[in-house]
Each structure stands twice: as structure tokens, then as C-alpha cells.
Amino acid sequence: MRIDKFLANRAYGSRKEVHDLLKKRFVTVNGEIITKKDFSINLDTDSIKVNGFEVPKQEIFYIKFHKPAGLITAVDDVSHRTVMDVLPPEYKKMGVFPVGRLDKDTEGLLLLTNDGVWAHKVINGRKHVPKVYYLEFNGELSEDGLRRIREGILLGDGTQCKPAEIFLINDSSARITIEEGKYHQVKRMIGAAGGTVTYLKRESIGDITLDDIKETTQYIDLSENEVNLFI
């Protein structure tokens, strides 16, 4: 395949814009700078980079990312850094977007894809996908508060939550499993039960975990088995 066709297909711009990238010596194949627009590449063996970033060869992406606190879960934002700002720019060019959301001050597992049907299956609450969070809190969670979380707590604004599992690790930390994704849900549930969340981390979505991306900002492709969990 011609290098200009490949890069245009990967959303690096029009053919003319891709030709400009080549002229400016921003494109390498196997470490060699390429300037000819008709240069032939082998998608099976060649490493193609633009501005030092590897160009993905696949068209559909399924990614898991260890989101740090401080980033908002969005593709673009005029005021804040987003999760896409710390991921390779090729993902954004290929239409990758976050699946669901994590609050700005929440750390943990975030899935991203450009497969809209798959994303809907992940976030559709009717599919009963459990999401596990580790949390630290101030205050005291009463026995009545814990019971109401387990039975389905009613929030102050009248929002009814589904029953959730909660396990107290000690008097200031817990692990909670929910199947919904309401706005600030875990924080509001803990607040309604008498505590104030000071740290929140999503550890898993279904059977997909952070086990192989323990450091924040790390990301990897989902395995075929992980993708198939929601097909």
C-alpha cells in the first residue's frame, strides 16, 4: 500500500495534508525518513511513525487505560485536560472515545473504543455489568447506612439506586460494587450513608481489571477474550 493512502485512511488528513507531512520529514518507516508519497509499505512488517508516534494499523480499537485523577473523561474540552490528551494522538484521529465516564478526581479503569455498538453494551445498565471501586472516606458509615446501600439506597435528590455490594476494609476504607453509572454515584451513596469519599479508584468493569496496567497513564489493547465479554 502507498504511504500517503495509508496515512489518509488513518485520519492524518487529506492526501494533500499527508503529502505536506511527508515533505516536512515527519514520517518514518522502520526508522527511515520517507518523503515520497508513493512509497510502498508492508502493513504486516513495517513500523510506520508520524512525529515519533507509532501509527496503529488496525481500524477498530478496544483499549483499557489507567486514568489518573485530574483528567476529565472526554474527547475534547476547552478548559481542562482530557484523557485523550495523554494517549497517542492516533487514537483521537481514529475516532476513539471513552466508554462511560470517571469523575475528574477519580482514578482507575477506563475503557475506550471507536466501536459504538460495543460501547453501548458495556455501559447499558440492563446488561448488569458490575463495576468495583476501592474508596477511602472520612466519617462513619452506620449499620443502617450500609444496609440501605445493600438494599438500594435513596439519594437526597430522590434518585433510587440499585442494590450494591459493600465491604468495609477498615474504619476508613471500603470496596463497593455497583451496576449503574449515575452522576457521582459512589460519592453520593457514601454521603447518604454518613461518610465523605476522599479517594476513589475503579478497579474493574465486569471481568476486565487493572491487573496488567497498575501505574496511572498506562494503557494496553484489550485481549480478544476481554473484548468478547461484551459481544
> Which superfamily does CATH assign the domain made up of 3-54 to?
RNA-binding S4 domain (3.10.290.10)
Reported confidence tier of residue 10, pLDDT bands at 50, 70, 90: confident
Task: Give the pLDDT score at 169.
Answer: 97
| Ranges of each domain in the chain | 3-54, 62-125+213-228, 130-205
Torsion of CA 147, 150, 156, 162, to 10 degrees: -160
Inter-residue contact 212 to 66 (CB < 8 Å): no
Task: Give the pLDDT score at 126.
Answer: 61
Q: Which residues contact 183 (CB under 8 A, 6 or more apart)?
A: none
Rg for the chain, CA atoms, rounded:
22
Name the CATH architecture for the domain at 62-125+213-228. Answer: 2-Layer Sandwich (3.30)
Domain 130-205 fold: Alpha-Beta Plaits (3.30.70)
Lowest mean pLDDT among 20-34, 84-98, 103-117, 184-198: 84-98
Neighbouring CB atoms inside 10 A of 99's CB total 23
Inter-residue contact 84 to 65 (CB < 8 Å): no
The reply to whether 62-125+213-228 shares the fold of 3-54 is no
Beta strand 195-205 pairing with 107-113: parallel
Question: How far apart are alpha carbons 112 and 82 in whole angstroms?
Answer: 13
Q: Which three cell numbers stand for residue 88?
A: 497517542
Task: Give the pLDDT score at 128.
Answer: 79
Position 3 pLDDT exceeds 80: yes
DSSP symbols for 190-219: HHHTTEEEEEEEEEEETTEESTT--STT-E
Q: Active-site residue numbers?
A: 103
One-letter amino acid at 216 equals T
Inter-residue contact 149 to 193 (CB < 8 Å): yes
pLDDT digits (tens, 9 = 90+) for 89-145: 888 888 999 999 899 999 999 999 999 999 998 887 566 789 999 999 999 999 999
Neighbouring CB atoms inside 10 A of 152's CB total 12
pLDDT digits (tens, 9 = 90+) for 146-180: 999 999 999 888 889 999 999 999 999 999 999 98
When the pLDDT of each residue in the chain is averaged and rounded to a whole number, the result is 93
pTM equals 0.82
DSSP symbols for 30-53: TTEE---TT-B--TTT--EEETTE
pLDDT digits (tens, 9 = 90+) for 41-90: 998 899 999 999 888 888 899 999 999 999 999 999 999 999 999 998 88
